[in-house]
Amino acid sequence: MLIQNIRYMAVDEDGKWKVQSGDMLIQDNVIRNIGNFSFDESVEKLDGKGMLAMPGLINGHQHTPMSLLRCYSDDVPLMTWLNEKMLPLEMRMNDEDRYWGALLSMAEMIKSGTTAYADMYIGMDMVAEAALTSGIRAVIGRGLIAMDDNVEGRLREASDVVDRWHGKGNGRLTTMIAPHSPYMCPPEFLKAAVNLSEAKQVPLHIHLAETKDEERMILEKYKVRPIEYLHQAGVFERPVLLAHGVHFNEEDYNVLKSMRGGIIHNPVSNAKLGCGISDVKKLSERGIKVGLGTDGPASASSLDLFFEMKAASWFQKLKYEDASVLSAHDVLTMATQNGADILGIGEETGSLTIGKKADVILMDMNKLHLTPGHETANLLVYAATGQDVDTVIIDGKVVMRGRELKTIDEEKVMANAKERTKQLLERL
- Contact residues for Zn ion (CB under 5 A)? 295
Whose Cβ is closer to Zn ion: residue 181's or residue 416's? 181
Sign of CA dihedral 175, 183, 280, 233: negative
* Minimum CB distance to Zn ion smaller for 270 or for 391: 270
Side chain identity at 85, as an amino acid letter? Answer: K
Nearest-CB residue for Zn ion: 295
Of 295 and 395, the one with the shorter C-beta distance to Zn ion is 295
**Largest pairwise CA distance in the chain:** 69
Closest distance of CB 401 from Zn ion, Å: 32
Query: Among 165, 161, 157, 259, which residue's Cα sits nearest to residue 208?
Result: 259
By residue count, the chain amounts to 428
Cα Rg of the chain (Å, integer) = 21
Is it true that the peptide bond before 372 is cis, omega within 30 degrees of 0? yes
Q: C-beta of 301: minimal distance to Zn ion in Å?
A: 14
Pick from 93, 94, 50, 49: which is nearest to 69 by CA?
93
Q: Which is nearer to Zn ion, 295 or 330 (CB)?
A: 295
Query: What's the min distance (Å) between Cβ of 243 and Zn ion?
Result: 5
Helix boundaries (H) for 258-333: 267-272, 280-285, 297-300, 305-320, 328-333
Report in angstroms the alpha-carbon separations of 409 from 100, 125, 161, 415.
Answer: 12, 21, 27, 10
- The distance of closest approach from Cβ of residue 101 to Zn ion in the complex, given in angstroms and rounded to an integer, is 15
Q: Output the smallest distance, CB 33 to Zn ion, in A.
A: 39
Q: 6 or 280, CB closer to Zn ion?
A: 280
When the beta carbons of 211 and 333 are compared against Zn ion, the nearer one is: 211
Q: How far is the CB of 296 from Zn ion (least distance, A)?
A: 6
